[in-house]
Structure 1
Amino acid sequence: MQSLASSVGVVTSGVGVVTSGVRAGIAGLMNLAAQGVDPSSGGGVFSVNFNQDFSSIGVGTKVGYKLFSLNSLDKIEQICDNANEDTCIVERLFSSSLVAVVSLSSPRKLKVCHFKKNSEICNYSYPNTILAVKLNRARLVVCLEESLYIHNIRDMKVLHTIRDTPPNPTGLCALSISNDNCYLAYPGSNTMGQVQIFDALNLQAKTMIPAHDNPLAAIAFNASGTKIATASEKGTVIRVFSVDDGSRLHELRRGMKRCATIFSLSFSPDSLFLLASSNTETVHVFKLEEVKEPQRVVVDEQQGLMGWMSKAVTASASYLPTPVTDMLSQGRAFATVTLPFQGIRNVCAITVIQRQPRVVVVATDGYLYLYNLNTVEGGDCPLHKQHRLEGTGGDGIVAAESSGAPVGPAYPGGAKKSEAAAGCSGGGSYAGVVRGPTPPGMTESDKMSEMAAACESPPKNVLKFDDDNEFPPV
């Protein structure tokens, strides 16, 4: 991972219009680890991101944000185009109309909006720059450099504050999307790769996992919240741990010779695959085989030379140094994606589109890349389609009716805490969090109804007959 100082330099060169007084805060606000900011791009894309179930994409740009639906290969439907203000964080709650937004001009202010109704539900200001926002149906987490605020998403009350965390200038954190295992993960150290797991539902620390020797670069939960994948700044080894007891389940090798900056880790919905993208041109797809108890190798005379070699390797393992044994046991990539670029920030995911698993990569060059994945044989994943998501004249973009949320007064990035509080006079506060007044035209009851409706879990085992992804084939 790049240092904060180097990150500031490249980010300011990409933006080019920011005053020197707020560059440091904006560099952190770009959220280099989780949001995928491209230091070299000049196209105005600040962040790219998937929603929790990989059914849509959020793109933050210098003129606003856009949301796209991922339900087709040949046409990508644009479901929202908000062109009100520069946006560097946009997080959509599953497939609801609820979005959390942070703008570049107001880096300490979080707005929760209903984009289809063109309404702002609420806004909160924090004592420092917001580096990341994570949502599930129970909690909304706001990450600052040295603290995390946990909100009840139904009424946005601050339930708990984790203070004095190790310096986390990139806002690295992850929130499980599971209702049953609602866990929050964040770095437990800025010198070692420790992962702190916090139970965000019961508001208590769960465990600390010593994952790597070097500081963390990426972390990700699986859909059920039972596993967590980690990568360090070195970027050569990816590990998967059990959230329950912290035991190591898998150790996967991304590369042998060169280190890399891991941009994104992502489990498939069934947790059978794990994706890793980096600043190289290769996205690695690992197959997470079920961990089995080691069995003694029985070799008889009929096995010949191959049987003898297998026995020799097994027997010699106990005499080899531990690092060598670990390297021999590390899993290799099951499949790979070769991107048409390198060094550009991106996020990756495996999702089912038109009944087939696809590898989806969104980069801050403003393009979406769709690859086919053979889940049986693996190998190279061929490019199926490429779509332009930012700018005009993009192929395969279908615009849908959309509207942006109203924008209130912005706080300058260099504003003092007292100035931010004065701008939100009339609202309540909790441990340094300042709540803005209820937006005009919306009562407190209306706001609660909107939040509750967006957080409802869909019924299980119900077929959506208007969804090609879920309609059973004849």
Structure 2
Amino acid sequence: MATVPDADSNLRAKISPTPEDSDPTRPLTIFNLSFNQDNACFAVGTDFGFRVYACDPFRLSLRRDFTTGGGVGFLRMLGSSQIFAVVGGGPDPILPANKVMIWDDRKSQSVYDMSFRSEVRGLKLRGDRVVVVLNQKIVVHAFFDKKPLHEILTTENPKGLCEVSQSPGPMVLACPGLHKGEIRIQNYALNRTKFIMAHESSLACFGLTHDGRYFATASSKGTLVRIYSTLNGTLLQEVRRGAERAEIYSLAFSFTGQWLAVSSDKGTVHVFGVKVDSGSVESDRSRGMSEGGVTNPSGISSLIKGVLPKYFSSEWSVAKFHLPEGLQHIVAFGKQKNTIMIVGMDGSFYRCQFDPVNGGEMTQLEYHNFVKPDTTF
């Protein structure tokens, strides 16, 4: 393995090549994909640098290729700015796997970095916070401050599961609890911690609304997705992805919280209608049936639910889109009405539209492959 650089001067030399320094024909391996906070663009961590693509219209907006030691395992953007959180990855990383660097690309320099005793499993950013996910700990920092504000112990978290709200004001954070299948909701406005026993199996994927009011979770079984209120832990809705086990890759709410998109290794992206609103929490609490210590409204009477298997009582998707099976994709809702964006580890970008009334198969509006040789910068 190549020596991992620590000095900012070395990083500056490697992280700021001119476009002419980049080889457009060099094969590209993708390590990580992530949308920014408003889904206007997405970041790609590769084996020799990183790229940022604008979503609408689709275009390459930033490209940084390194000559050596440039593997980027995690890359997170702060909005549409050129402030990034970077973690090394792959066989030839730009940084150690236990180090997070805050990089200002406008100045071509590191603002500061943070080192941890174990490997970084995930990262989340919002305007006032940097959230670092370790295997059994979440560390919350104020932006531009290396001193931790809060540390949260979790069960083993190899997937780096954690979500944070993005609306202005105090943060809502969702992460694994201390037991298998348990979720911890940290509400910083109320200074309140809520634990939810969401699944019997291990947690596999999280999703959180922009305002932090509702939370979606899937287990390692991958058949059901459950939607909860973060305020009181009420189970608001249960939707079914399918009957067979699957690995859930991505859960994403629309900005209004009206829709939920789900991607899996089965080669499908599903869109579900979310049946919650500002007054739903208390009304659902009063009319729902208790299940495992939480409320479970579904629109089906308690009598029917007691007779029919759970397979029939959970709700199915409104619309779906088919992809190559086995490939990892992440999803996000677009700014155009009833559209979603799908980005794959194979370099694929899809924009699709779904019919909220008639449902069915989504319409593909756009497709690009961003790992093909491209000399455009």
Change (3 A) 1:199 1:290: closer
Contact 2:195 2:233 in 1 (8 A): yes
Q: Partner of 2:303: helix, strand, or coil? A: helix
Q: Which residue, out of 233, 242, 245, partners 1:255?
A: 242
Q: What is the deviation of 1:181?
A: 4.8
Could you list the per-position Cα deviations for residues 171-225 of structure 1 after superposition, in whole angstroms to 9, with x for gaps in the alignment?
Answer: 111111122351111111453x1111123567x5520111111111011110111
Q: Partner of 1:113: helix, strand, or coil? A: strand
* Alignment of structure 1 residues 85-100 onto 2, 5 Å: 85-100=70-85
Equivalence for 2:319:
335
Equivalence for 1:455:
none
Could you list the per-position Cα deviations for residues 389-428 of structure 1 after superposition, in whole angstroms to 9, with x for gaps in the alignment?
Answer: 224149xxx63xxxxxxxxxxxxxxxxxxxxxxxxxxxxx
Q: Which residue, out of 207, 223, 241, partners 1:236?
A: 223
Query: Is residue 42 of structure 2 the alignment partner of residue 57 of structure 1?
Result: yes
Greater shift, 141-150 or 112-121, is seen at: 112-121
Change (3 A) 1:329 1:78: same
Query: Is residue 64 of structure 2 the alignment partner of residue 101 of structure 1?
Result: no
Amino acid at match of 1:198: Q
Amino acid at match of 2:334: T
Equivalence for 1:351:
334
Q: Which residue, out of 205, 214, 235, partners 1:227?
A: 214
Could you list the per-position Cα deviations for residues 342-370 of structure 1 after superposition, in whole angstroms to 9, with x for gaps in the alignment?
Answer: 11111111111xx4432111111011111
Distance 1:93 1:239 in 2: 29
Q: What is the deviation of 1:326?
A: 4.5
Q: Which residue, out of 164, 175, 178, partners 1:175?
A: 164
Q: Which residue, out of 382, 385, 406, partners 2:363?
A: 382
Contact 1:138 1:201 in 2 (8 A): no
Query: Is residue 106 of structure 2 the alignment partner of residue 116 of structure 1?
Result: yes
Q: What is the deviation of 1:77?
A: 2.0
Stretches of structure 1 that go unaligned for 5 or more consecutive residues are: 1-16, 20-41, 297-312, 400-474
Query: Is residue 232 of structure 2 the alignment partner of residue 245 of structure 1?
Result: yes
Q: Which residue, out of 244, 261, 267, partners 2:253?
A: 267
Stretches of structure 2 that go unaligned for 5 or more consecutive residues are: 4-26, 288-298
Contact 1:67 1:79 in 2 (8 A): yes
Distance 1:113 1:390 in 2: 24
Q: What is the deviation of 1:81?
A: 0.8
Report the number of matched residues.
330
Amino acid at match of 2:171: C
Q: Partner of 1:166: helix, strand, or coil? A: coil
Q: Partner of 1:318: helix, strand, or coil? A: helix
Change (3 A) 1:264 1:392: same
* Alignment of structure 1 residues 22-37 onto 2, 5 Å: none
Contact 1:58 1:65 in 2 (8 A): yes
* Alignment of structure 1 residues 383-422 onto 2, 5 Å: 383-393=364-374, 399=377
Distance 2:303 2:345 in 1: 47
Could you list the per-position Cα deviations for residues 206-247 of structure 1 after superposition, in whole angstroms to 9, with x for gaps in the alignment?
Answer: 201111111110111101110000000001110100000000
Distance 1:232 1:212 in 2: 6
Contact 1:43 1:366 in 2 (8 A): no
Query: Is residue 83 of structure 2 the alignment partner of residue 79 of structure 1?
Result: no
Distance 1:100 1:201 in 2: 25
Equivalence for 1:318:
303
Q: CA RMSD in A?
A: 2.6
Contact 1:345 1:364 in 2 (8 A): yes
Change (3 A) 1:207 1:314: closer
Q: What is the deviation of 1:156?
A: 4.0
Q: Which residue, out of 170, 186, 196, partners 1:209?
A: 196
Equivalence for 2:182:
194
Equivalence for 1:466:
none
Amino acid at match of 1:236: T
Q: Partner of 1:321: helix, strand, or coil? A: helix
Distance 1:56 1:189 in 2: 34
Structure whose residues are more often strand by fraction: 2
Change (3 A) 1:64 1:326: same
Distance 1:145 1:389 in 2: 31
The TM-score, its normalising length taken from structure 2, stands at 0.81
Could you list the per-position Cα deviations for residues 86-110 of structure 1 after superposition, in whole angstroms to 9, with x for gaps in the alignment?
Answer: 1010000111221100012210111
Q: What is the deviation of 1:169?
A: 1.6
Distance 1:382 1:189 in 2: 42
Contact 1:80 1:115 in 2 (8 A): no
Could you list the per-position Cα deviations for residues 410-460 of structure 1 after superposition, in whole angstroms to 9, with x for gaps in the alignment?
Answer: xxxxxxxxxxxxxxxxxxxxxxxxxxxxxxxxxxxxxxxxxxxxxxxxxxx
Distance 1:231 1:389 in 2: 29
* Alignment of structure 1 residues 142-153 onto 2, 5 Å: 142-153=132-143
Equivalence for 1:133:
123
Q: Partner of 2:315: helix, strand, or coil? A: coil
Amino acid at match of 1:337: F
Q: Partner of 2:183: helix, strand, or coil? A: strand
Contact 2:42 2:52 in 1 (8 A): yes
Q: What is the deviation of 1:287?
A: 0.9
Contact 1:335 1:380 in 2 (8 A): yes
Distance 1:43 1:83 in 2: 10
Amino acid at match of 1:169: P
Equivalence for 2:342:
361
Could you list the per-position Cα deviations for residues 95-137 of structure 1 after superposition, in whole angstroms to 9, with x for gaps in the alignment?
Answer: 1221100012210111101123322111111111111110111
Identity of matched residues, %: 28
